Structure 1
Amino acid sequence: MSTNTPNEKLAVQEKGSFYKKIAGGVSDTSEGGLEKIIFDDMVDRGWRAGDAKDYDREYCVDLVKLRDFLNTTQPKIGEELLLDTDNPTRRKFLARLEKEIGSRGIIDVIRRGIKVDQHDIELFYGTPSPGNAKSAELFAGNRFSVTRQLRYSLDESGRSLDMGIFVNGLPIATFELKNNLTNQDVDDAVAQYSDPRQRNPKERLFAFGRCIVHFAVDDQQVKMCTELKGKKSWFLPFDQGWNDGAGNPPNPNGLKTDYLWKKILTPESTTNIIENYAQIVVEKNKKTGQKTRKQIFPRYHQLSLVRSLLDNVRERGVGRRYLLQHSAGSGKSNSIAWLAHQLIGLRGGKGEAFDAEIFDTVIVITDRTILDQQIDATIRQFMQVGSTVGHAKRSGDLRKFIESGKKIIISTVQKFPFILDEIGDSHRGRKFALIIDEAHSSQGGKVAAAVNEAISDPEDTINDALEKRMAARKMVTNASYFAFTATPKNRTLEMFGDAFPGPEGKTKHRPFHTYTMKQAIDEGFIIDVLKYYTPVASYCRLESVVETDPMFDRKRAQKKLRKYVERHDHAIRLKAEIMVDHFQQYVLAP
């Protein structure tokens, strides 16, 4: 019999038939009820049920799942490590594992394994190669597990996380869950993670690089954090977006946030994230020279963007143009780097080993130094940068890199017309992916660069070059174009957008994928400048007062007010500071 209060029943009715079924059938609208829903759904989708008693809090591993994985995939090593009982050999192995994770991070340890004495130990087997029965068998040996009420603390045995998920006994993510029906939401989960008294960042499980990500989840929103630092913890939205803004769309078949565990955190999707997205990068402060490590996990729209592009290219092959309208604050640098990396080696058809690679070379067109560095950092996670990436800075570099087999070539917007000539004429037999970061131009800060940017829009450079070839019927057909921009012009929409029938039979165009300025504003990544734009309104009010005041001559007063607003040194200086600060923080910043 249901024990819901009147307020809970009303809230259940507002959340639709699915939640009514949960609340009325299970009689549990607490966060424990949400925890059970997530746990059961994940087990149904291939995750194994973990037992909190199997978690070793000293070494931060699920010993049973780790032992099962090694005994199944590397039985000889598993036998020699004596994992069944507590003994010096097992403790030595676990101590070495703990040390490697502490220095390299869980992502690299999972990808590359560790060496203990004479043993090279694999700790994870990635996505199997199509048609390779042995790699499929090894992948099946992985132990993806989810554990409820994970007690993690050596000092406070009563402290527990709502959920933890593991790969082969190694923790990769934690969850704090809240339920709006109990008047708690995702921000309460964030507050719990950020409170050192409740989730002490000095705990081993919360150390940098120990887990890949920490999720704060309720029934309507998801937020994530890659490094817990107490009050300084930075949680990013992990929502799908709704009505061009923040949040998630209504879900007639479940909770608004069930995409997290039903789509993003399936074993296959989790493997893909570990292999191609999650990473630790080293950033260097140009002023101090100090290096800091930063762990990165993709946001929802970044995963959606790259995966949808790869699926479309795999299905349709070379020759399409894609417009990606992603606002400032979307993390375009990472999105472009992840896309460039995964377009290399992408195969058509079903992705079988005998299917041909779709592209021979990926060319990234940008004027941002930060993007050069980001691509280098991303590629370094997966392959040798020197043999893979080339920076075409001088004439002749492009042809040299193409002929020498460089997989990724980075060039500038100004060289775009030459690039079209080169790949369309001299290398017509090869296939290219052109990733165009045309929304940014020559941001070196010098006066000459600023003047050039003012009179020459990089979007126009791209569009002009393509239109000339189209007019001459020499459009390059051996290339696909991926154009990133925040605010596309009509020409850009027509050039790269997807056509669809508009009103009165007119053809309209829209982006292939969007992360809107409204969503970036709603999620706090950029500022709504219109919301804080007051000078025009103030000027109009001053002018209105003068018009109705017989003590002042209207024309003379208006002239003096305009002179003050438009020419006063103090006003100009303040406006310039605001504009420059905003530009540096939200446009130049990665």
Structure 2
Amino acid sequence: MPAQTDLTQSLAAGLKQYAQDRKPEGEPLLTFGRGALVHFVVTNEEVHMTTKLDGPNTRFLPFNRGKANGAGNAAIPGTSPTAYFWEEILERGTWLDLLGRFLHYRFEEKIDPIDGKKSYAKSLRFPRYHQWRAVKKLERSVLEEGPGHNYLIQHSAGSGKTDSIAWAAHRMAQLHAADGQKVFDGVIVVSDRQVLDGQLQRAVEQLETTSGVFQPITRGRDASKSAQLAEALLAGKQIIGVTLQTFPHALTTIEKHAGLAGHRYAVIADEAHSSQSGEAAASIKQVLTAGAAEGDEVGEGSVDVEDVLADVMARKVGVGTISFLAFTATPKGKTVELFGREDVSGVKRAFDLYSMKQAIEEGFILDVLKNYLPYDLAFTLAHTDRATGVDVEIDTVKASSEVMRWVRLHPTNIAQKVAVIVEHFRTNVRSELGGRAKAMVVTGSRKEAVRYKLAIDAYLKEHKLDGQLGSLVAFSGSVLDAESGSKEFTETSMNEGLKGRSFEAAFAGDEFQVMIVANKFQTGFDQPLLVGMYVDKKLSGITAVQTLSRLNRVIPGKENTYVIDFVNDPDQILEAFQTYYEDAELTQPSDPNIIHDMLGKLRSMNIIDTYDVDGVVDAWLTKSSHNTLYSHIKASRDVFWTRWNDAVAASDDLEKGRLEEFRGTVLAFVRAYDFLSQIMDYGDTDIEKWAIFLRVYRRVIERQDAEPSAINTDDIVLTHYRLRKLDAQNLGLTTGDPGQLAGITAAGSAQPREAKYGLLQDVIDKINGLFAGTDVDEINGVSAAETILRHVVDNPKIQAEAMANTPIDFETSPTIAAELEDFIYASAAGHSNAMTALLKKSDFTSIVNVLVAMGLYERTRSEVERAASAGGMWAGSA
């Protein structure tokens, strides 16, 4: 351990000298696995360490306390900033604890992300300073406070969280109070499936000094996971690993099994931002709420660890006997409120912090906002046929939303963005990491993901790039999109190249460079080869941080990341990251009075009778028959639906709005009460009665049918379109005030909205007005191409070509150009100016290319299949 003074030698010089002058060959003391266990280089300002000397390949890691939430060490009055090292770390008891209970060998199989080769590595794990600090702080607090308390550990990506959790789990499992009694009967580690089955499981297992300490609950065994859980808990296994989906079952077992009454547990939640969606989310909700709402759409909802912990705590399982230790890089406001600790000023914040700023400055993650390139979109619309409803009054707010959704799915919009994505990837991203770099396309919906996949594959084929680049698409469930094809789209049908492999395994290879996602792989996905991200989805707050952070993983040679953003405001993205750049604190606690406000709203609507509330509560608590409980729920349910149906029949939108607000307030009350009752005692049995009633009642007043579309978009056309690249930016994360989070401060229910009626043309004019004064009016409109496309998909000769040929053969067919030429010259007089302008600027080959990019081949085949399914016959089938 060389000690350097900054007055004569720098840290860099000390690290270089130690690595190169102290060669392990022939020197037992320096040989890995035989001699010194850990090597430190200490200066006045910093401490760095390594467990393996390997000449120029030696990797020293910082062992610093941090300074202003960043790298380095804060000043210590009267001595050097590194005095903590010899005064604290080298203290006899601390040093023996580090050697005896932290230091361990790790054996793991590694797959090189660059060449894909497997290797088996043996490493000696020694904690970084923040890892040691967090575990020791937890130990001291748990011994002082006992079970039944909460701890929030806000450790950034790059903090080595897997090792920290493994050390914390073993420490909690072995902890004994002063009287010799174990503090916890067991430790439950909650994680997502991927981590549990892999890295975390190995880390926990390899810390064992005796076999059988750790029991993962996994599939593939003789017993069900629930049976495995009960067996492990009753057998007194010290550490039990469960998935997020299995965790609620563990709490149910603890709650109901007589043999576990009074047992004390530490629950450690890993990767609190990793989420489950689709069927897994519905299953978790079902366990937590004793019956998930029917009609939850698979693939659209999601549940993360923080949500699950909050719901579990709302059940008040193990109050006073279960301690929750939540590890997360990006805590939500409610997480800080539940798990945070008040500082001297009364503000809640994390129990222990290793910030994003420190991780970036120490080189463990990349700053993903350094190369941020926003795009600006402008367009104009028109309605082509006033006879089909342009003069009919409609709900303009709903219509505006549907028109904008139509624009997002428009073939021109997607085709233009696909061209930007592919060419940017080829020019800027592909060459990174020796040609192995990859990218992710983030879309706003499953239908968008389907269309992006089809458009990217078509673009690659058109430009003869399909042999060089490959794409995958990830979304839940199935998607029906008549404009893209008559059959439903699934991950399996659209990813033929998977060949039974998982997405992670397939994407890690050389076949696929681009992954298109819709509400999947935006959190918890660890692929260090990701260098580029193309964002076509509105992101804000924690979702923006989690999504863009897929790029921040560090591997040798990775110095740049690229974010191309088609829809978000750079300032809002920067604001989201600033919240978690340093410390996140709860500056606006929840307002407990909103419970009384919401209850007042519900009573004022005169829908729910207090007689029924008392009846449901009595039936619930006495476990009466289902029919007794249902009779009281039915009475208030019938009142709601009678008023709703009357409002619909009378076209009374104001009354419908009031009933929508009532429905939203019911849901908001249940959520708010379940959360707020954990942090304060309302001491009011009447409120608790309403909470019991509304938990059941909310399910019988949920919306039964989707709202009908406000408009028919069939006759809307995109007349002008411009996608403009703005200046690339380094958004510049800066040191400043802590990130501010808020609890529940408003009821959260939707306010009644009286529909504003107007003409469809008014909606179109309003949207076009968004781009008034831009250069979109100077660009050749796409209305002519849109008109051609809308007509030629019905052309029998073009239909025959589409059904008989591959996309490439279809595009090069002379029949296509000939039919287009005939149509353009014979087109209606109303489009003659547009057609003339189009012909002046383009030859027929260029026009074909434009139409192909707009989906001519796919839309023609879709039209043929639609006609066939309707009982018709296309000319080519005769």
TM-score interval (norm. to shorter): 0.5 to 0.7
Letter in 1 for 2:41: A
Within 2, Cα distance between the matches of 1:276 and 1:564?
57
Deviations 1:196-240 (Å, cap 9, x if unpaired)? xx2223242322122111111110001111111111111101000
Aligned match of 1:345: 174
Query: Counterpart of 2:776?
Result: none
Q: Does 1:584 align with 2:551?
A: no
Paired residue total: 380
Contact kept, 8 Å, 2:46 with 2:64, in 1: the verdict is: yes
Q: CA deviation at 1:289?
A: 5.4
Cα drift, residue 332 of structure 1: 0.6
Question: Displacement of 1:431 after TM fit?
Answer: 0.6
Which of 242, 246, 254 aligns to 2:71? It is 246
3-state SS, counterpart of residue 281 of structure 1: strand
Q: Percent identity?
A: 36
Distance 1:199 1:435, change over 3 A: same
Question: Secondary structure of 2:2's match?
Answer: strand
Is this contact kept in 1: 2:150–2:340, CA < 8 A?
A: yes
Partner residue of 1:514 out of 320, 341, 353? 353
Q: Which residue of 2 aligns with 1:395?
A: 226
Stretch of structure 1 that moved more, 325-334 or 572-581 = 572-581
Q: Is the 8 A contact 1:466 1:475 kept in 2?
A: no
* Residue in structure 2 matched with residue 499 of structure 1 by the alignment: 342
> CA contact under 8 A between 1:178 and 1:188: conserved in structure 2?
no
Return closer, same or farther for 1:528/1:303 CA change in 2, 3 Å cut-off: same
Name the amino acid aligned to 1:291. Y
Task: Measure, in 2, the Cα distance between the counterparts of 1:392 and 1:314.
Answer: 32
Distance 1:495 1:265 in 2: 36
For the 8 Å contact 1:414–1:461, the answer to whether it is kept is no
Which residue is equivalent to 2:268?
435
Q: Which residue of 2 aligns with 1:489?
A: 332
Question: How big is the shift at 1:455?
Answer: 3.9
Structure 1 counterpart of 2:96: 271
**Cα–Cα, structure 1 residues 378 and 464, in superposed 2: closer, same or farther, change >3 Å?**
closer
CA–CA separation in structure 1 for the residues paired with 2:89 and 2:143: 20
Instruction: Report 1:164-203 matches (<5 A).
Output: 175-182=1-8, 184-195=9-20, 198-203=21-26
Q: Distance in 2 between matches of 1:388 and 1:359?
A: 15
- Deviation for aligned residue 1:290: 3.6
What is residue 247 of structure 2 aligned with on the other side? 416
Larger Rg: 2
Contact 2:269/2:327 (8 A) holds in 1 = yes
Q: Give the aligned partner of residue 302 of structure 1.
A: 131
**Amino acid aligned to 2:25:** K
Pairwise mapping of residues 351-390 of structure 1 onto structure 2 (< 5 A)?
A: 354-370=179-195, 373-390=199-216
- CA distance in structure 1 between the aligned counterparts of 2:216 and 2:415, rounded to whole angstroms: 53
Aligned to 2:171, the other structure's residue is in SS state helix
Unpaired runs of 5+ residues, structure 1, are 1-174, 544-558
The answer to whether the Cα contact below 8 Å between 2:215 and 2:239 also exists between their aligned partners in 1 is yes
SS at match of 1:395: helix
| Shift in Å, 1:292 | 1.8
Q: For 1:386, what is the secondary structure of its paired residue? A: coil
Give, as a single letter, the amino acid of the residue that structure 1 aligns with 2:251. L
Distance apart, 1:496 and its partner CA: 1.1
* 1:75-474 pair list within 5 angstroms: 175-182=1-8, 184-195=9-20, 198-204=21-27, 205-209=29-33, 210-285=35-110, 290-349=119-178, 354-370=179-195, 373-391=199-217, 393=219, 394-426=225-257, 427-439=260-272, 441=274, 455-466=301-312, 468-470=314-316
Q: Which position in structure 2 is the counterpart of 1:480?
A: 323
Shift of 1:516: 0.5
- Cross-structure match for 1:530: 369
Offset at residue 429 of structure 1 (A): 1.5
The residue that corresponds to 1:9 in the other structure is none
d(CA) in 2 for partners of 1:374, 1:193? 32
Distance 1:333 1:269 in 2: 22
| SS of match in other structure, 1:230 | coil
Cα contact 2:190–2:243 (8 A) shared by 1? yes
Secondary structure of 1:242 counterpart: coil
Go from structure 1 to structure 2 and tell me whether the alpha carbon gap of 1:519 and 1:180 turns closer, same or farther (over 3 Å shift).
same
When residues 475 and 430 of structure 1 are mapped into structure 2, their CA distance, relative to the original with a 3 A threshold, is closer
Query: Shift of residue 466 of structure 1?
Result: 2.8
Contact 2:255 / 2:261 at 8 angstroms: preserved in 1?
yes
User: For the Cα contact (< 8 Å) 2:267–2:325, is it kept in 1?
Assistant: yes
Whole-Å Cα distance in 2 between the matches of residues 438 and 486 of structure 1?
8
Report the TM-score, using the length of structure 2 for normalisation. 0.40
Distance 2:299 2:64 in 1: 35
Contact 2:275 2:302 in 1 (8 A): no
Contact 1:521 1:528 in 2 (8 A): yes
Pair 1:342–1:467, CA change in 2 (3 A): closer
Task: Tell me by how many angstroms 1:316 deviates.
Answer: 0.6
Q: Render the CA deviation track for 1:381-423: whole Å, top value 9, x for unaligned.
A: 4423335434355122111101112111000112232222222
Question: Any unmatched runs of 5+ in structure 2?
Answer: 220-224, 283-296, 379-410, 430-436, 441-506, 509-524, 529-548, 556-878
Cα 1:452–1:219 shift into 2, 3 Å: farther
Instruction: State how far apart, in whole Å, the 1-side matches of 2:229 and 2:235 are.
Output: 10
**SS of equivalent to 1:180:** coil
Distance across 2 between alignment mates of 1:561 and 1:405: 59
Deviations along 1:293-312, one digit per CA (max 9) or x if unpaired, are 11111100000000010010
Residues in 2 aligned to 1:346 and 1:453: alpha-carbon distance in whole angstroms: 42
* TM-score w.r.t. length of structure 1: 0.58
Report the CA distance between 1:261 and its aligned residue: 1.1
Deviation at 1:333, TM superposition (A): 0.6
Query: What SS does the corresponding residue of 1:301 show, helix, strand or coil?
Result: helix
Distance in structure 1 (CA, Å) of the matches to 2:413 and 2:249: 51
In structure 2, C-alpha distance between the alignment counterparts of 1:571 and 1:464, rounded to whole Å = 45
| Residue 847 of structure 2: aligned partner | none
In 2, the alpha carbon distance for the partners of 1:437 and 1:377 equals 13
8 Å contact 1:281–1:295 — kept in the other structure? yes
